Amino acid sequence: MQEIDEETEKKQILNKYRTLLRSATEKLTKEEKKFIRKAFNLALDAHDGVRRKSGEPYIFHPLEVAQIVAKEMGLGATSIAAALMHDVVEDSDYTLEDIERLFGEKVTKIIDGLTKISGVFDQNVSLQAENFRKMLLTLSDDVRVILIKIADRLHNMRTMDSMPNHKQLKIASETLYLYAPLSHRLGLYAIKTELEDLGLRYTEPEVFRDITLKLNESRAGEIKYLKKFSANIKEELTKEGFDFEIKERTKSIFSIRKKILNQGISFDEVYDKFAMRIIVDTPVDREKSDCWKIYSIVTDFYRPNPDRLRDWISTPKSNGYESLHTTVMGPEGHWVEVQIRSKRMDELAEKGYAAHWKYKENSNGENTLDEWINKIRELLENPESNALDFIDEFKLNLFSDEIFVFTPQGDLKNLPKGATPLDFAFEIHTQVGTNCLGAKVNGKLVPLSYKLKSGDQVEILTSDKQKPKEDWLNYVVTARARSKVKTALKEEKKKIAEDGKEILERKLKHIKITLNEQVVNELVNFFGVKTSLDLFYRVGNGQIDNNRIKDYAKERAGGIYTYIKSKFKRQRNIKDTPKASTKKGDVLVFGDDEQRLDYKLSKCCNPIPDDDVFGFLTVSDGIKVHRTDCPNAISLQSKYAYRTLKANWISSEDIHFVAILTIKGIDTVGLVNNVTQIISNNLNVDIRSINISGDDGVFEGDILVVVRDKAHLTTVIEKIKKVDGVTSVERRYKN
């Protein structure tokens, strides 16, 4: 066991504290320094003798969190003191009353908020969702609660090396699922980027290492290129008298990975890995004109791509982001992204809403934050909103690319990309959305599923007779609209069900059957519905008519009802999910003690032996097995960590699996025959189905093959790739 050098540790603690004071962006007064010192002393006492998993003194953690709050968020003495004491009430004998007596109401309120939300990702799911609501409600009291929580998570992510792998995966999944998008929504771009990169480092370590190595290899050449690219621009900006700074910016590892996946390209085909940022120090009243003047200078030297101009100066994003982005053709035919912004805009972009304390005269950002908080409160306070659904609905709009559309009166509304006239209608008013009959975009009638574009002018047509329909849920993308439509549909269903219950009671009475609990249960089973509400609803809307009720009465009277009941029960329990064969024992074992349990393979990612997988305990369908890189993995591991099981493959020669191969190439005579010959004859692999089509000399299609495991599948893919004319073979997962 390593001996602890207490003197060295004391010096390290003191050095960290002094660094913290120097990091405060605003000059601290004597009183503020005393205030921070008092908070530091209390935290030091509260965490005395406590150590982190890494073995270092626990006080290092609150000191580092306070450092992030001071330096990277630019917050003042109140936030620094609260960050130093953020774990005190939860982890020691100090109470909120002690904090209030020593530090006042403001700091106490922040620490109370932090203590309440410390269990946001508890093992109890319903608590998790409810605590998440509470966390967001604290935004309306003091946004610093969330900012300090994000700083706390950032430091935890930076220091996860000493944790076991399963905890690293859980915390990293939570971070990618919630904390990174939340940081983005609050305008904390630098922190959001670091959280995403760290999240990727632990969820997909091999991908992270690969991109990091490639970036490092190309960095020197790219930076040299950007220096050459900016030489003329620097000279001209200096000549024009601008006070400016030019930074070379590297695209984050996470965003490079995202681009590779979304666009189906290689690392070398990501052309904007490096970009240039021009930051001009200029008064607020000249920001816009100076940025456009710099844009003019840049485009005098290099030809711009008109499709890649982004003007977030005239219309800032809803989280306060302001900048002018353009992509120009540089020397040697390379595209270069250039970002142009003022010093104030840059600070707001890096530190988000935290920086608005410094720019109080600019109230636009505060107003946008208030609007965002009000939208969250509206969702939270909706009594019909399911607590678990809420997290997904909230995340739906946490941050998405935005569009800006106009009302007929010229008022500007911002909506997520992909929004429809229905979203716009509910954005105007709940009643306008509920009674929406149709829409005109730029004076022309469009369907309610029409995808709005920036600059559209939208007019909503309403009718008092119109009510929300089930298919509206396919057209709306905003959480507000989705929530309102669901609530309206539930209300309508309840009304129809009430009428249906009366109709059913009357019809049964006519054939001498009394509607009681037993009869309701029999009817639910007979008609194969889930609940009594579904039963009454179907009677109310005519799906279950008089003849079908008479069929039930005949079967009941005939004494074979028990058989019918069990038949329907069996039918409802039959699932379409492929189940693992158990000829010679299960293919997978679960948990540390390697138990053999029944399981099913999830359709979303089609795992096969040798894939890295985990088990997920569903409510109604037993254990479902997912690949660790499944599109749903991060969400499941983040929201329901306590329901995930470690899973390992064991050998089994009798198990076979279906895999889908997408094949592309040059259409030549006999090519399909050559491919099928290799698969069937040479490799003795069964082909379930084949669907290949050609067009203008090229072909593309899917082949479903039955393989033993991943190694077998790899052999099949490599053999097909060698066929003349085949350009690519990839395994595809079902959508």
Separation of alpha carbons 313 and 226, rounded Å: 24
Strand-strand pairing, 599-601 and 623-627: parallel
Catalytic site includes residue 366: no
| Runs of H (alpha helix) within 579-709 | 633-639, 671-677
Catalytic site includes residue 370: no
Whether the CB-CB separation of 272 and 328 falls below 8 Å is answered with: no
Tokens of 375: 């939208």
- Overall size of the chain counted in residues: 735
Instruction: Using alpha carbons, list the distances in angstroms from residue 526 to 334, 537, 544, 575.
Output: 68, 15, 11, 19
Reading phi first (left if > 0) and then psi (alpha if -120 to 50, else beta), residue 280 is in beta
Element (H, E) at 657: strand 657-666
The alpha carbon of residue 653 and the mean position of all alpha carbons in its chain are separated, in whole angstroms, by: 39
Q: Which member of 90, 105, 141, 686 is catalytic? A: 90
Q: Which member of 9, 56, 91, 492 is catalytic? A: 91
Tokens of 486: 């669901």
Whether the CB-CB separation of 634 and 733 falls below 8 Å is answered with: no
Closest Cα to residue 432, out of 440, 423, 441?
A: 423
| Runs of H (alpha helix) within 435-560 | 479-510, 517-526, 532-540, 546-557
Separation of alpha carbons 114 and 65, rounded Å: 13
The alpha carbon of residue 143 and the mean position of all alpha carbons in its chain are separated, in whole angstroms, by: 21
Tokens of 30: 């004597």
Whether the CB-CB separation of 146 and 135 falls below 8 Å is answered with: yes
Identify residue 66 by its one-letter amino acid code: A
Catalytic residues: 90-91
